[in-house]
Structure formats: C-alpha cells, structure tokens
Structure 1
C-alpha cells in the first residue's frame, strides 16, 4: 500500500514525540514492503530518500518570505509568502499542506491512505477540500492521528485558550476530528479526554486506540549499573507546566527538607510561563536556586538523543509526572532502556507501566501520592529496581513491537478503506455540541429545479450595475436568471442605466421596482420574486469569477445539511486586500461575521430561516441571517479560493457606519437571538475579553485582531532585537562571542520583526 503521512516533525529535525513516532512508523511500514511518503514543511522544496521505500517531500514554508518587499498593487495571493501574509502560522501551514498534496496527486501520486497529525490542525484545508469534492481527494481515506491537540493543552500551560488565533487553531483541530474518515489514538486516556472535550462525555466519534510503534536501537545502554550511593531521578521532556514540573519540584523540595538524599536531573528544552512573564526554566532556577547550588537539582537542557540515552541509562528511575499526556515516548524509551518509571495516572504512561511490577503509578488528585512513590523507590534495593526495569522492558517491547503494531494498524487501515461515509451530510464542528440545538426541519425545495436566481439589490448604483450583471452572466453555470431589485432609486443617471439594462445585455434581466425600504427588504423581495431552486446574493457593485456559481451549486446539491456556500473574497477598487472566510460555527459566528454577502443559498432555506431583518436598518442584516440559518441547523461552508470580488468604496454603507451604529446593530442581533447567546455566554465572554470588541476583528485565522495592542509589543521586541543585532555586529571581531549560527538567527528575527511592523501598520489602516 502507498501511505502518505502529513507531519511537522521528521528526523533529523524535530521537536518532540511526533518526530520520534514518524521515524518509527515510517520505518515499520517500509520494512513491511509498503511505500511511504512523508510530506512536511522545510526551508527549501526538496525530495530525499533516507531509507528504502521512504520518500520525504519538503515544501518551502511561506513565512520565510514575510519580509519580502512587493509592489503596492500586488494581490494577496501574488505575495511570495502567500498564504502566510494573510493568515497566522497554523492556518497558513495547513493550506500549504493541502497544496502540497494536490501537487503530488497531479504528478501521478496515488496513495491508498493519508494519515495526518492532529496538532496544529494541519489537515484542516485538506479535509475541507476533500469534502468539497476537489479532484483526486474524494476516494482517498484520511486518518487523523491524535497526539496532543492545542485545544486541550493551552489552559494547562496557563495560556488564554480563547486568544486568537490560537483559539481558532483548536477549532481547526476539532474540525479535523469531526471530518476525518478515521481517528487513531495511542492511549485510552487521550481518547477519553477528547470525547469529554468535544461531546461532554456523551456519544461521539469513533476513536481507535492503538500503541505507537517503537523498537529500541541496538546501541541503547539498557542495563547500565545502578549507583545506590548517588540515586538520581531523571525527568526527560520540555520544562512545561502541562508536564507537571512545578508540582514535581514542590514534592522534591518537601522530600529534600525531610532529609531524603537524591538528585533530580531535568533534561529538555524550555517553554514559556505565560502568566509569570518568564520561561518555566527561569522560574524554577530562581525558585530553587539553593538546590541548584547544593547539586540536588540539575538542568541538562536540550541534549542530543545519544546523550539523553546515556543520562537515562544511569538513572535510578525515570519520572513522567505530567498533568496531561498522550503516549509519551520518553516513557517508551525509558522502559525500553530497562528503567523503572514513576508516572502519573494522567496519560498513556499509566497504561504502559501497568501494575507495580513494572513501575509506580500515582494520582495527582491524591495528596502525597508522588512523595510516597518516590520514597518507596528510593528504599528499594538496586536489584529490585533493576528487576522492575527488566519487566518494564519486556512489557513495552511487546506493546510497541513493529510486528504487533503493524498487524493492528493495517487491519484498522483496511477497515477504514472499506467503510463508507455519510455522503449527504457535511461535517460540522458543532455536531457533538449540546449547546447547538437545531430543531427546525429543512423545508421542501422550492422553485424551478436547477435554476439559479441571482438577486442584485440596487439603489443609485448605475455606475457599477452593468459590470456586476455582466460578471454574473459570464458564469459557467446554467440555467441562470438575473433579478435586479430597484429599492426606490432617485438618481436620474442610475435610473437611466437601469432602464436600459435589459436591452443592453445578451441575456434577459428582470427588474423589480419597489419603494425605498432598505437593503434587507430589497434582498427579501428579490428572493420572493426569484424563480430558481438556488438563490445567489450579489450586491450591485461586487463581482464573481466565472466558475463561482457552478462550484457553489455543486456543493449544495451534494449535501443535505448545507444551505449556504461562499468563498474567500478579494478586495478591489479603493483598496487591495482580502477576507479569508471560514465555515460557519458557534460561538465564533455569534461574535463576528464569517463571510461576505456574495454567496449562493438554497432558496427555500433562505425564505424559511434567513430572511434579512428590516430592523437592522444600519447594516449587518446579512450577518444576522447567517446566525438564523445556523441556529436552524443549516450549514454554511467556504470554498478556500478567491472566487468573489468585494468593491471597497469610500461612500459604502458599511464604511458609513460609526461605532455607535455598529454596536447598536450588535445589540439588536443579540436581542433577536438571546437564547443562543445565553447558551454560549461563557465562551463568548472569554473570546471578547481576550480579543477585544469583536467588530474590530478580522478573520479568525488572522493573528492581527488585536493589532492596536500588539503593535506596542512588536515595537518593543523590535527595539530589543535591533540592540542584540547591533551587539552581535559589533562583536563580530571576537569569534568566541559572535557565534555564526546565533548571529544568523538574530538577524533573521530582526528582518522578520521589521516585516511584522509593516504588517501591523497595514492592518491598522486596512479599509473595512
């Protein structure tokens, strides 16, 4: 079988357990005769073959070009950094992954199955395109392998989990879980936590639990002699709050104060301690300075794998004290090395250790549990510790042996390949959310089957209407009708253009005249007068690409639960730029609009659920209708391409709204949907409290929603980096001071921050 893996980590460059998993998984499959392709980002495009039957395809990350200078009229997708110039890191990387897969398919690649990591939502756009029917993707099963999703760990690391764009990355991960053809997970612990997070413990997606493959290298130092005179506990992993390092040190401090003699060696890189404004390592070094001085506490930092194995081999025992863990490969490696492991119950390490014969499992919820476990192991004779380590080695070797994992994995893959999916229902992030309670049935289809009615509200827009109508008529989709609703225009020139419109175009155009009642009423009138099964909304100054309508109708036909289809939007006329739309979902939609009103709907659903409300006279009438539609259980989905054009005019209705008008319209929307806002109140509060007033947000995957606040931070970072770069330059004559690698990193960071400053200024003055 041809197997493709999408990952952000693969040897020799990786930062954690995913990279180690990829090393062993690809080797396991390749040695069994399967052809493996690994797709991941890199500094350059390239292909390499590290082992027989393993191909590694790297695509160049767009963020490397964020500092590039471009011409003022450059389109967003013409920037060399695209899509990183319009999205934050993880959404942009996800888009690049999908693009890389499509390019490989176009060259003749034909995988039997694709597996993608959950972390960072890197499969988001690939799964979106698969469900939208992109060529070559529909028949390929996509497996999402659950490691440790962002939406689960942010709060454990004391990071505001509703801050954008990190919150949106979590939503991307949830979509991947919902949209995958199959879900794979190494531990029962993680399976339970994912189901709890997504379904509140009720029925949810099927998740197959299966250990990770791992075989210890022959050069490992298993069985190194234990030193009873200097007992050292070794912790291997990042200095991260989620890993339990704070309560671990607190426990060790109590034992040291009580006279216990042992050393704690901490091996691994550092992470941010967000709520303290320092790194975790800095915090621990400051708090436990006395223990560093007396040698009881030691930090080895991040070391090469061989050095790490040497340190573990000489440990009295290895500690895995995590507050939340999946299937930690540090535990796997320690047990393979014949080490007794003391692990918390909060993760797959407990499932690996099993009973007391292989190690100790403690529960953080039980006071003193870790202290008891440490005391017990400290008092064990060396022979007993070694015997427990030997039993641990036997247990984990059987659990992770390639031959055992391979048989189970291939059986799972074959089951997924044979399994059909609910082809008529598009996956929704809120599918398992008890707060989302759609109860209204979809109405029967209305109108002439297959006919698309393009409704164009018109008020004194004679300058633009002909170009807009011609744009719609250039559509590749047929049958199609144009319905222009004149909302009581009083400009003579516009009326003259409108009167001549039906005879000036090759296709028939119907004009419906009404008294001036506002945009909402005009849209409703157009929908009522339309004859088609499908309804396209198009403002009188906007444009669509020729294939837009055909693509939208195809999706509406395919899925019973989709009522609304739209695309990314390109700005033109008075400003360049774009809007990256996304699928509708609660609660984000309750805070901020997720699309522009250039879209296609099932007309019966618009009339039943999404009529524009005339009381929203100042604007946002389209936004409110999307909320109504989603409340009814009708989905809105986005084609991730620029297929529509939004004209930016200085005299537009939207730009004419002041803050008072915007806030009042939001108040009206909340009053219209009070019950729904109450159901999502806690999450909405955190979103707004973290990111500021939602009317100032942009797309959820954009990391510049809080630009006004972030600009000060960026300016300060720029000053610091410039000072460091200057110091490095001035110290260039002293080789011992200016390491070339460090200088390269600093200069690259300096260049990037300069680009970020330009980006901030651009965003701050972006037209609405």
Structure 2
C-alpha cells in the first residue's frame, strides 16, 4: 500500500534459513536476515533474542544509509522491545526516529484464551516486552477499538493512540465470484484453538445436532496447535472426543488451505463462522464477506466492528446461552433474496471501508502527524507506574559530579587494576572515594597507604562493619550529584558512566541506571539484565545491583543499604526494592558495560540456599506494602516458576530445561536450541507426550 503510493519501504524479516538476502522491487525491498548475528542466543531466550537481533540489523542499515522517516512494528512477542529501549536510552542511531506500534495480537491478552498460563517464564517476560512496546511507542495504531479497550484494561497506554483498520484487497474480485448454492454445511475457517472458538463451537454443535442432525460442521485450518493443559494437539483432542460425529459425517476436519481454494472448498456452505473468544481484526471475516459468504461471528472481538447484525452479516454473544444456535438456525431459514442482499451489502462494505486507497488516505495523515511531533519527553515510559520525580534539598552536591565509591576489604591485589580502569572512563567529572572496611592484610594496607588523597581521591577508613555500612558511609560523604558503587575487584567499560548519567540527566522519573554484566575471572559469560519493574523485580533480581549508578539524593531518601540484615548478602537487591517501594525506578543499558569478577572465595558464592531463603523472607516482610500490592502476581510467578533465588533471567525457559535429563545452564542452552529448530520441535513434542 505504501509502496504503491510512492514511498520507499523496507521490510525486515528474520529468517533462520537465510544469510541476509535482500529482495528488491521498484519501491520496496524485503530484508531477510539470520537471527544469529550477535551471539545473544547464548544468554537470551528465543523471543528476546529475536528482538535484540531486529534492533541490531536495523542499526546496521541506519548507520549505512541514514535514518528512515518512521519505523513501524507490531507489539506481538515484543519484537520492537530493544529497538525502543535503545531509542529511549538515547543511542544516537535511533533516538530521533519515530516508532509507531501497530497492535496485532498481544500474547498477554491471547494466551489466557488458549488456557496457557501467562505467568510461566518466558511467557510472562514476553508479555512485559509487549507492554513496554505499547507504552514506549511514539504512536499506537489499533486496527479495532475492541483491541485498544482490551489493552487498556491491562495497562493504561501512555502513548497517543488511534483506531485504523488494516488494508484489505480481496484475492478474488467480487465480479468473478460465482453464484453459490446454499446447504446445511457450516464452515469454521481458521486454526484449531481454544481462542479461535474450537471447543465452545463443538460444545454448541452437540446441542444443535440433537435437533438438526443433518448439519455438517467443517473445520478447516492448522490442526497441529498444541493444547497445553493436555499436552496434545488440537487434532488429537477433537478426533478423540468427536470420533462418532466424524464417522457419521457431521464433523469434517480439513487441513489448512490457500485462499485460491476457498471457492472450491466452501463455496456452497450455508455460512462461515468466526467464533473467537478474543480477536483483533480477523482477516477471515474480510475474506469471506468479500468472497460472498454469509458470516456469523462472535461479539468478542474486532469482528463486531466490521459486521452490522442482520445487515451485512450476523453476530452472536458467547455470554448469552443458546445465542449461537439461535443465529445458526435463523440464517438457515433466510430466503435466497435475503441472503443475496446481505452478501451484496457485505461486499460493498469491504470494498469501500477497507480498500488500500481508503486506508492509505487515513494512515498517511496519521504518520505525517507522528513525524512532525518533536519527542521531548523527560519521563521514561515505565510499564505500570509513572515513577517519582525526586526533589531533594539535603547536603550540598556538585551538579554533574559522579562520586565513585570503591568498597575495599583486603583487596590490595586488585587496587591498581580498578584505579587504572577508572582512569580510562570517558566521563571526566569524577571523584573517587575508597572506603576501607577495616582491612587487616598487610599488602592491602601498604597499597592504600601509597595513595595520595586529594580533591578527586578520598580514602575513608572504619572498623569492619560490612559492605552495607561501607556503601552508606561513602554515599554520605560524597559530593556528587550521582554516585556509583564499585567493588574493588570489579571493572567497568569506559563509556558506562557517561551513558548512565546521560539517562539520569534526561529523565526526571529515573533514579538509577544499570547495565548487562560480563563475568570474568573464574567464570565467563554475560548476564543480560532488565529494567527492574514490579512484579518481576519483587520475585527476583533483574539488574546488576552491585554496580549501578544512582542519583545520590534518591539513594539517601531511600535510606541506603540495610545494615541490619540477618546475614550478609542481598543488600544491594534489598536496596533496589527499597527504591521501587518509594516509587523510584531505574533502567538498564542493554549492553555489557559492567564487569564482575567471579572468585571462589567471594561473599556471594558463600551464601547458602537457606540463607538466600532467609534473606528473601526478610526483604518481603520489610517491604510488605509493595509485596501486598502485587501479591497475586507474585504467588502466580512462584507457583509457575519455583523459588526465586534459582532464577535470574526471565527470558529463559526454565520449565523446558527441567525436563532435559541433564541439568544446569547446559540444559537451558539445549532447551533454547530445540525451540529454535523447526525439525526438532515436533520430535520434542512426541517425547514430551511419552513422559507426560
């Protein structure tokens, strides 16, 4: 549609079988790219990795060719999540490009209608990515008011939004649609699933067959969808439950067919039914109305905005008992001239309201408005909260100054390394504060004594009081507007602090910034962290809380690290919960800018599972108000995914990994590999059926 009106259009499509191919036409091109270019599949779940790959490929094209006028994406599975994260976090290549989200079918709305728990990882996280896309868009287009209303029941969308249908061009011209007869056959055209109304329709037909046994129900569509509560395909379930009706011919199951076969397969059907329990703008309604079929659709979806009951089709209400059968029987009593009038009305509607010409006229006006809007927001788009704007008038702070607080205890062997590392950071307004927590090691004391304090280096010593006390002491004496904690054995990338402070300066509702973590020393790998928002952050940590950059005033207002925890450990995680409890939010830079040294004798590795449970109980009891607010969500997350201290990455499929005969991270990688491979997925399903 856009290309036909003179616009240059590039469509990006991930293709696991492709090694970056470009299909060009006069005014559009299709870029098929391999979703394995960044090596993030080693630590990101499948859908999350796909989102990161989209952002990476688009970045490469923008840097090569320049920025487009507009980027448009769907919200489904969060494919624009990282694109929007990079945009809002101020990355140069994308920060000034308007991003429009056209709502499609959010998993967080649709999965419950397929009787799938949205709290199981990674599904809950995918829902959070979708929600962020809707919140962070410059503009949201919804094909129907129904979908927009359903989304707003879940979250209140921050972005401006408008209803605009997708364009539709009939595959068959209404002038060549043949004259069609009428029978007692009903066709349900679409994949077999609970959401598409398969189960509820069959239940209704059981009643209809009691009085009208000659009615035939033909199901045409993909039969391989797995119904998760039973772990079986929809075809297996339907064939088992309705074997008798299949044998008598009352029920017919046909595989999915292309549009070119519609006339041959369903030309003489009395009606096509669309009994979805939720839907956006189902194209089958547009296709069938344009083709000259009478359509009976549920009111539970955007299809109710297409059909005017009795005028160009028919509607029934799932919530009204017997309404489906009532409408089916009524349609079958219509005279031929009544049917033909309804068909004519339907075809006229589709060819006028949904034509590419009409939709283009409306869409280009919307896109022009989006392009003209200057993005000047100083409020970062959080999913469920606006976040607090901190106005603190405490100790005198030097605006723009970063105070880096190094917590030090017998860490002499790492001191030269961390100071050299900090000398390379590209943010220059820095003071370094070393807080010695009562070191006893002679080498450590000697190295500290060799340092010369001054305006940009302070050394504080106190008796051994623990990590929390050292951080708090450093924060109290710091003069910077911003503070960053750094253990003496950890490191940062040169641009970490400058990028973090840029975010803090821009957004009044953001009080701390973290980044992905790269492990080194006795281990390697990357921990991809995520914006710490409830309910996930209340379930487990999602940010490199030991090495983030704070707005100092917000840290002090939240009372700093807890020095009274029952055992040492998780002080930094508790700090994050304290800030969230006070409506002070943070974000994550989606790149590995923080480097965490893994040591066998580190404090974190010494914490037992029992101690982690004890600390988790302490944190939840301490912050009862916010935990109570999200109590139901947290109970569901724990029920579906297990104990929180065993989870640190919501994008991974821990449940699938648990079913692999070997455990640990290798199982998670194996699970990820199977889910990415279209040949292994059906084999895995058969194995699953054997053991479940």
When normalised by structure 1's length, the TM-score is 0.84
Trace 1:78-157 onto structure 2 (pairs within 5 A).
Answer: 82-157=39-114
Alpha carbons 2:168, 2:354 under 8 Å: kept: yes
Alignment CA distance shift 1:508-1:118 (3 Å): closer
Q: Deviations over 1:486-538 (max 9, x none)?
A: 011112222222222448xx995321001111100000001111121110111
1:411 aligned to which of 344, 365, 377: 365
| Rounded Cα–Cα distance in structure 2 between residues aligned with 1:45 and 1:673 | 50
Q: Which residue of 2 aligns with 1:601?
A: 550
Asked if residue 586 in structure 1 is aligned to residue 539 in structure 2, the reply is no
Alpha carbons 2:13, 2:33 under 8 Å: kept: yes
Alpha carbons 1:312, 1:334 under 8 Å: kept: no
Asked if residue 256 in structure 1 is aligned to residue 209 in structure 2, the reply is yes
Q: Which residue of 2 aligns with 1:443?
A: 392
> Does 483-492 or 310-319 show the bigger shift?
310-319
- Shift of residue 711, structure 1, vs aligned partner: 4.7
Q: Which residue of 2 aligns with 1:60?
A: 34
Trace 1:308-457 onto structure 2 (pairs within 5 A).
Answer: 308-431=262-385, 441-444=390-393, 446-457=396-407
Alpha carbons 1:697, 1:705 under 8 Å: kept: no
RMSD between aligned residues: 2.7
Alpha carbons 1:226, 1:382 under 8 Å: kept: no
Alignment CA distance shift 1:692-1:706 (3 Å): farther
2:499 aligned to which of 551, 556, 560: 551
Q: Deviations over 1:687-728 (max 9, x none)?
A: 001000011002111223774455579999999xxxxxxxxx
Alpha carbons 2:286, 2:350 under 8 Å: kept: yes
Alpha carbons 1:221, 1:309 under 8 Å: kept: no
Alpha carbons 2:100, 2:139 under 8 Å: kept: yes
Q: Which residue of 1 aligns with 2:219?
A: 266
Alpha carbons 2:142, 2:162 under 8 Å: kept: yes
Trace 1:172-187 onto structure 2 (pairs within 5 A).
Answer: 172-187=129-144
- Shift of residue 223, structure 1, vs aligned partner: 3.7
> Does 626-635 or 642-651 show the bigger shift?
626-635
Alpha carbons 2:389, 2:508 under 8 Å: kept: no
- Shift of residue 679, structure 1, vs aligned partner: 0.8
Alpha carbons 2:81, 2:133 under 8 Å: kept: yes
Alpha carbons 2:522, 2:598 under 8 Å: kept: yes
Alpha carbons 1:223, 1:313 under 8 Å: kept: no
Q: Which residue of 1 aligns with 2:190?
A: 237
Alignment CA distance shift 1:113-1:164 (3 Å): same
| Partner SS state of residue 699, structure 1 | coil
| Rounded Cα–Cα distance in structure 1 between residues aligned with 2:685 and 2:455 | 51
When normalised by structure 2's length, the TM-score is 0.93
Asked if residue 299 in structure 1 is aligned to residue 247 in structure 2, the reply is no
Trace 1:680-695 onto structure 2 (pairs within 5 A).
Answer: 680-695=630-645
| Rounded Cα–Cα distance in structure 1 between residues aligned with 2:686 and 2:618 | 41
Alignment CA distance shift 1:537-1:716 (3 Å): closer
| Rounded Cα–Cα distance in structure 1 between residues aligned with 2:398 and 2:669 | 60
Alpha carbons 1:359, 1:392 under 8 Å: kept: yes
Alignment CA distance shift 1:380-1:706 (3 Å): closer
Asked if residue 197 in structure 1 is aligned to residue 154 in structure 2, the reply is yes
**Which residues of structure 2 form unaligned runs of 5+?**
671-676, 688-692
- Shift of residue 30, structure 1, vs aligned partner: 1.1
| Rounded Cα–Cα distance in structure 1 between residues aligned with 2:271 and 2:66 | 47
The number of residues matched between the two structures is 675
| Rounded Cα–Cα distance in structure 2 between residues aligned with 1:306 and 1:573 | 61
- Shift of residue 133, structure 1, vs aligned partner: 1.0
| Partner SS state of residue 536, structure 1 | strand
- Shift of residue 750, structure 1, vs aligned partner: 7.3
1:534 aligned to which of 459, 478, 482: 482
| Rounded Cα–Cα distance in structure 2 between residues aligned with 1:117 and 1:277 | 29
Alignment CA distance shift 1:420-1:310 (3 Å): farther
2:160 aligned to which of 206, 219, 229: 206
Alpha carbons 1:221, 1:310 under 8 Å: kept: no
| Partner SS state of residue 464, structure 1 | helix
Alpha carbons 1:581, 1:699 under 8 Å: kept: yes
Q: Deviations over 1:635-687 (max 9, x none)?
A: 21111111111111111111101112111111111121101111100000000
- Shift of residue 629, structure 1, vs aligned partner: 1.3
Asked if residue 289 in structure 1 is aligned to residue 243 in structure 2, the reply is yes
| Partner SS state of residue 199, structure 2 | helix
